[in-house]
Amino acid sequence: TRPLHSGDLAVGGVPLAELADRFGTPSYVVDEGEVRARARAWRAALPGADVAYAGKAFLSRAMIRWIEEEGLSLDVCSAGELELAALTGFPAERIVLHGNAKSPADLKAALRLGVGRIVIDSVGEIASLAALMPPGARQKVLVRVVPGVAAGAHAAVRTGVEGQKFGLPVATGEAEDAAERILGQPRLELVGLHCHLGSQIAGLGPYVTAVRRLVPLLAALRDRHGVTLPELDLGGGFAIAYRDGDPVLDPETYATRVTSELALQCERFGLPVPRLTVEPGRWIAGPAGVALYRVIAVKSTGGRTFVAVDGGMSDNPRPALYGVRYTVRLVGRQSRAADRATTVVGRHCEAGDILAEDVRLPADVRPGDVLAVPAAGAYHLSMSSSYNLVGRPPVIAVTEGRARLLVRRETLEDLRSRDIGD
């Protein structure tokens, strides 16, 4: 974003208040240039690695095209995400399919389209996938392992430890057992290990620890089963800043520390260094997005000031799910009023529908004003709902002073058309 003399803010060279007037609110604004620049940052930091954009953060046909043009791979979690990628023409061999409960439809779509990698998440999935393989075919797979590393900003997103639904633990021998079972399936080709530690991880320590626990497993598979796996996928979870002062993970620092540790551990065990894969999603999409709202009401009660906007937990459920709080900016006009502590709340019938708590906003904020919430490019539209039958917002791309609609607003007619009963 850049400030304008009018008191407005611009993204991609387009004033945010102008976008609110043109496309309505709530709306998501995505800066194409920033998405591309952030994708390039990972490619530059890890030129010898595979960088797979985690589509669960935000996926649209335009986003898929940008990712492909920047040379990234794509990580998907369902047949829906996979079919959208195929519709857009993304190369299937550069797609990785994840999921702890892949349905037969998910697996059949992956095999039909020829995805490059499928991540095995449970022992039962091994036989299920092998049974779906056509005669003479062979699918490359990774096995998702749990290295026993606690990392992530909230308990609900800490996926590198035992006792949660993802992966197979290293410490109990389950990961090695799964690898052995895969090696016994002639229609499956085990090419590597996969792990994902969590989300909003700002420090490098968890990733270094994961390397130190996974390389010995690679060595054990070589020694006991005679196979040297060529790939190691360390997942994503890289932190971004939602508010000023939040810690951020830097790709270059990550690359230097993790690749050096990987080389050191592989030398220790006499292994060739596997090809590394990382899966940034939020880090690429999150800071490139801004959510726009219009103020509906201002209320002072119980010693607090509440500013209610025309969106909320239906377009951003993260505050309600994880207790996350955002920063908020008034855009479109200058204010000479003093700032005061304000809680920005949504329109939905939940007391927990809070977007930003005790943020500083001008005391003269009034109905009709436009508020902007930065770092809104990831896990907003992808996790949105039609709660209270409020349609989901549109997505607008901005670049070099131009704006275009990527995803249209969900209308009342869209919502009515799904209801066929009487």
Catalytic machinery residues: 349
Phi, psi of 300, deg, nearest 5:
-110, 120
H or E element that contains 193? strand 188-194
Instruction: DSSP letter for 83, please.
Output: H
Q: Write the Ramachandran bin of 312: left for phi over 0, alpha for psi from -120 to 50, otherwise beta.
A: left
d(CA 318, CA 164): 20
Question: Is 119 within 8 Å of 101 (Cβ atoms)?
Answer: no
Beta bridge partners of 289: 30
Compute the residue count for the chain: 422
B/e letters for 220-235, b = 16+ CB within 10 Å, e = fewer, are bbbeeeebebebbbbb
User: 187: which residues sit within 8 A by CB, 6+ positions away?
Assistant: 130, 133, 137, 138, 139
* Amino acid occupying residue 226: G
Q: How many CA atoms lie within 13 Å of 273's alpha carbon, on the beta-carbon side?
A: 13
d(CA 356, CA 327): 6
Residue with tokens 């791309």: 397
390: nearest Cα among 311, 317, 319: 311
